[in-house]
Structure 1
Amino acid sequence: MKKIVSMILSLVLVMAFIPQYSNAATAKFKDIPTSHTYYKQVSYLEGNGYITGYPDGTFKPNNKLTRAHAAIIISNALKLDTTNVTNPNFTDVPTSHPYYNQIAAVVEAGVMGGKGNGKFDPSGTLTRGQMAVILTNAYNLKGVSNKQFKDVPSNHWAYQFVQALAKNDVTSGYSDGTFKPNANITRAHFSVFLYSALGTLGKKMEVHFIDVGQGDSILIESPNGKTMLIDGGTKAAGDDVVAYLKSQQISQLDYMVATHPDADHIGGLIDVFAATQVSNFVNSGKVHTTDTYNELLTAATNEGSNYIEPTTGQTISLDPSLKVQVLHADASATDNNDASIVLKVTYNEVSFLLTGDADTDIESKMASSYDVSSTILKAGHHGSDTSSSLAFLQKVQPAATILSYGQDNSYGHPHSKVLSNLITVSSKAYSTAESGTITVVTNGATYNILGKEFTVGTVSTPTPSPTPVVTNPKPTTGGDAKSGTYVIPGAPTSFKNCTDMRKYYPNGVKKGHPAYSTSSDRDQDGWACEQ
């Protein structure tokens, strides 16, 4: 017993060097009072949903941890997808097993394995050595410590795993120089080790690709709690974006970015201004004549936000632990999409490339001037073939690509050519149309994507019907070609979608024009299919 107490004291000393975590919720287990040695660790894990107690309100800290319970805790801590799992085919874990999904998830993630003979042994207890394997796999811990344990020599099966724990200050072992790899681990001790392992990661960052239908909206929550909202979808999506911010307990934004003045990117930001405090408003500077754009500028002025028009190459000071660099910005661009602010956000080894609606020419310019390689790519222009060229994707080499578009949209997004390019570069693909809001959680070394991956080779995409192209169309009424009121002789007065309309009216049309329809005026600002 004295040895165990000594080990506990050693672990507590190690905790002094672990980054401190905030914990809004507190553990209310009857057998874990505030005076308990492990109150802090159990309270943090419980408050973040990693562990739960028993129906009688206890945690039973001294009970031996079972393999099934370890699977549950680790799947919670890693936020693994437990809804779409591959059957590991353990004879003692049928699909009807209460913990089947969690066990299948940790096995599929390579964190835990079976016990041989086709079994998992869910009720079996876990040893300290096995715990070392699980945490090393879960958090990619590596290294060899100067600290050597008498009972874990270099030829021991658990040597590299125990050493990885020691190297990363997850354990210091017992005072007698042993680790006791064959001893069973209790629920409380596992909580201490898991808390220590979490401390090796640094603070987490979350990037939320909010489902706004046919549009873009991205929320960044930095490691130090700073926030940046990039675009807000259409006006119709404004309430949804505000509701999502509230669900994340966000009432103040450090930065709001309007990548370019298209309605499906800026419309929802008007409601966000009304509902939250915005310290800095980053705008492309590209002037647009729509009511939506004017309302956005008015909202920013009324808010009193610091106004910023970024230049290519500059960095934005969101969080000292991040590098947020502007890879493209062009207020003088003739086309709205060409004005898109493109950001690369880097947190240690994990990076995000957020491209707005930048087209292939802009992609080529960025790739020739900057390191565009990134872990996660937000595909340009909702998966349109105007973006995401193969040459660009080969430079980015994204491990995963997020496509933000609406289900059954009239634009043909995502384009089959883009999906083919993603297959070529072996990028996993996720879409807001398929998964809803997609969240990427990263500690700067590893990342986890909360969303349903789809197989791009099986996604069918609508193909817009071909429309005759009018050569050198000239307006006959209503002023210049950008007024939105001119009518092209012989042009159709109704169109299947905006792609077809823009072949005749590149800037869209205003209310009152024969081709105007409310279904094409997504933000209800009096312009249909405006750029």
Structure 2
Amino acid sequence: MSIVLLGCLLLSFIISGCSLEWESQNETTIAPGSVDSESKLRVIFLDVGQGASQLLISPTGQTMLIDAGNNDREEQMVEYLEQYGVDRLDIVIGTHPDADHIGGLDAVINTVDVGKIYMPKVQANTKTFESLLRSIKNKGLKVTTAKAGLQLDWDEQVDVTMIAPVVNGLDNNNMSAVIKVTYGDTSFLLTGDASSASEKEMIGSGVDLQADVLLVGHHGSKSSTTLSFLNQVNPEYAVIQVGDNSYGHPKETILERLRKKNIEVYRNDLQGTVEITSDGLDYQVTTER
């Protein structure tokens, strides 16, 4: 898509009033709906191959989707939502414009009701990004800028805080929206493709990065999960959203770093969809295989 066409598309958003607002674990076989979700937070790391997508269901049934895999996972994403009984997403977050994160979001938005959508102030001159913008426009939605310091209104029992991007002007990966989810004494840090530059900014911001569950940044690339960042987060569990790929993800350097800290690691390529359920005190981990 040409820069002129993208400019026209964004201009049409503004004219239409739909502008982007740039401002003890128990491992079992997963069976959707079989886990008692009453008074529990469910964080489901969906298996979308070499991509990323997390579906969150709150103790009161509120829903949130962070990313939606690549373009070839559109039908699978719609099937996942049906599988988990989701016909409305209260919050949708596109962490950054890379296709393996936002590729399926257009189909999701076309299929279900959406409350609010958040994306960072960064664009991409791609057909994937154009298709997502068109779906947002056609649904009559407005995009709120994803940035550090936002408190997301989701479930009064669950604190959802956006802690990155801290600064503007970084590359797409380092502009990734990073979300910390806290329920009772339990917490999750969901990092998109945030890399070392963003990790450094997060550390420098003084925000509390400690979390029990870490979504390992950028599919286990060595550009993310620096030792200083990992020490700050100090998780018990780590999830790597990865599939067959030519990048060598996850890198052995990162796996060894996690092993040295005795962090329990779960991977979509080995275990399929991974669900971590919290009652505010403890966790239950279930895997597809």
- What is the TM-score when the length of structure 1 is the normalising length? 0.47
Quick check: 1:81 aligned with 2:24?
no
- What is the CA–CA distance in structure 1 between the aligned matches of 2:241 and 2:25, rounded to whole Å? 22
Which residue identity does 1:247 align to in structure 2? Answer: Q
Is the alpha carbon distance of 1:450 and 1:331 closer, same or farther for their aligned partners in structure 2, counting shifts above 3 Å?
same
Structure 1 counterpart of 2:286: 450
* Contact preservation (8 Å) 1:286, 1:339: yes
CA contact (8 A) 1:210 1:218 kept: yes
TM-fit CA distance, 1:294: 1.0
Indicate yes or no: 2:288 matched with 1:342: no
* Structure 2, gaps ≥5 residues long: 1-23, 30-35
Distance in 2 (CA, whole Å) between partners of 1:331 and 1:389 is 19
> How far 1:202 sits from its partner (Å)?
7.1
SS in 1 for 2:49: coil
* Structure 2 CA distance for aligned equivalents of residues 402 and 342 of structure 1: 15
Distance 1:346 1:223 in 2: 12
Residue aligning to 2:236:
399
Q: Give the whole-Å Cα distance in 2 for the aligned partners of 1:391 and 1:203.
A: 34
The residue identity in structure 2 corresponding to 1:447 is Y
2:254 counterpart of 1:418: yes
Q: Which residue of 2 aligns with 1:364?
A: 200
One-letter identity of the residue aligned with 1:263: A
CA displacement at 1:361 relative to structure 2 = 2.0
Superposed counterparts of 1:160-179, under 5 Å? none
**Which residue identity does 2:263 align to in structure 1?**
S
Partner of 1:435: 271
- Structure-2 change in CA distance of 1:267 and 1:331 (3 Å): farther
Contact 1:284 1:330 in 2 (8 A): no
Contact 1:286–1:330 (Cα < 8 Å) also in 2: no
Residues 182-224 of structure 1 deviation map (CA, whole Å, 9 limit, x = unaligned): xxxxxxxxxxxxxxxx9xx970110100001000000000111
1:285–1:331 Cα contact (<8 Å) kept: no
Cα distance in 2 for residues equivalent to 1:356 and 1:433 = 17
Q: Is the CA contact (8 Å cut-off) linking 2:46 and 2:53 kept in structure 1? A: yes
In structure 1, the partner of 2:128 is 292
Q: Secondary structure at the match of 1:420?
A: helix
Match for residue 247 of structure 1?
Answer: 83
Partner of 2:100: 264
Aligned position for 1:236 = 72
Answer with 302-311 or 318-327: which moved more. 302-311
State how far apart, in whole Å, the 1-side matches of 2:27 and 2:88 are: 30
Matched residue type, 1:329: P
Task: Work out whether residues 430 and 452 of structure 1, in 8 Å CA contact, stay in contact via their aligned partners in 2.
Answer: no
CA deviation string 1:412-449 (max 9, x = no partner): 10001101110121110000000111001111111111
Contact 1:352 1:376 in 2 (8 A): yes
Aligned residue among 223, 233, 236 for 1:386: 223
> What corresponds to 1:509 in structure 2?
none
Question: Is contact 2:166-2:198 (8 Å) kept?
Answer: no
What percent identity do the matched residue pairs reach? Answer: 36
**How far off is 1:452 after superposition?**
7.7
Inter-partner Cα distance in structure 2 for 1:324 and 1:294: 28
Inter-partner Cα distance in structure 1 for 2:194 and 2:149: 16
Higher RCO (C-alpha under 8 Å, 6+ residues apart)? 2
Matched letter for residue 271 of structure 1: A
1:435-469 Cα shifts (integer Å, max 9, x gaps): 1110011111111111289xxxxxxxxxxxxxxxx
Give a deviation string over 1:472-491, Cα, whole Å, max 9, x none. xxxxxxxxxxxxxxxxxxxx
* TM-superposed deviation, 1:390: 1.4
**1:360 and 1:351 mapped to 2: Cα distance?**
22
Pairs within 5 Å for 1:264-343: 264-329=100-165, 332-343=168-179
The DSSP-based 3-state class of the residue aligned with 1:316 is coil
In structure 2, how many angstroms separate the alpha carbons of the residues matched to 1:244 and 1:330? 32
2:190 corresponds to: 354
Distance 1:239-1:331 versus aligned 2 partners, 3 A rule: farther
**Contact 1:357–1:380 (CA<8 Å) still a contact in 2?**
yes
Aligned to 1:376: 213
Distance across 2 between alignment mates of 1:334 and 1:283: 15
Q: State the 1:312 CA deviation.
A: 1.1
Match of 1:508 in 2: none
Q: Distance in 2 between matches of 1:214 and 1:342?
A: 19
Give SS of 1:254's match. strand
SS at match of 1:315: coil
CA RMSD of aligned residues (A): 2.0
Q: Once the 2 structures are TM-superposed, how far is the Cα of residue 307 of structure 1 from its aligned partner?
A: 2.0
Contact 1:286 1:331 in 2 (8 A): no
Q: What is the match of residue 506 of structure 1?
A: none
3-state DSSP class of the match of 2:230?
A: helix
2:248 partner letter = G
SS class of match (2:208) = coil
Letter in 2 for 1:421: R
- Post-superposition Cα deviations, 1:119-175, rounded to whole Å, max 9, x if no partner, equal xxxxxxxxxxxxxxxxxxxxxxxxxxxxxxxxxxxxxxxxxxxxxxxxxxxxxxxxx
Distance 1:263 1:308 in 2: 20
Contact 2:25/2:283 (<8 A) preserved: no
In 2: Cα distance, 1:280 partner to 1:82 partner: 33
Partner of 2:64, secondary structure, is strand
Question: CA shift at 1:241, angstroms?
Answer: 1.1
Q: Which runs of 5+ in 1 are unaligned?
A: 1-77, 84-197, 454-531
Deviates more, 1:434-443 or 1:306-315: 306-315
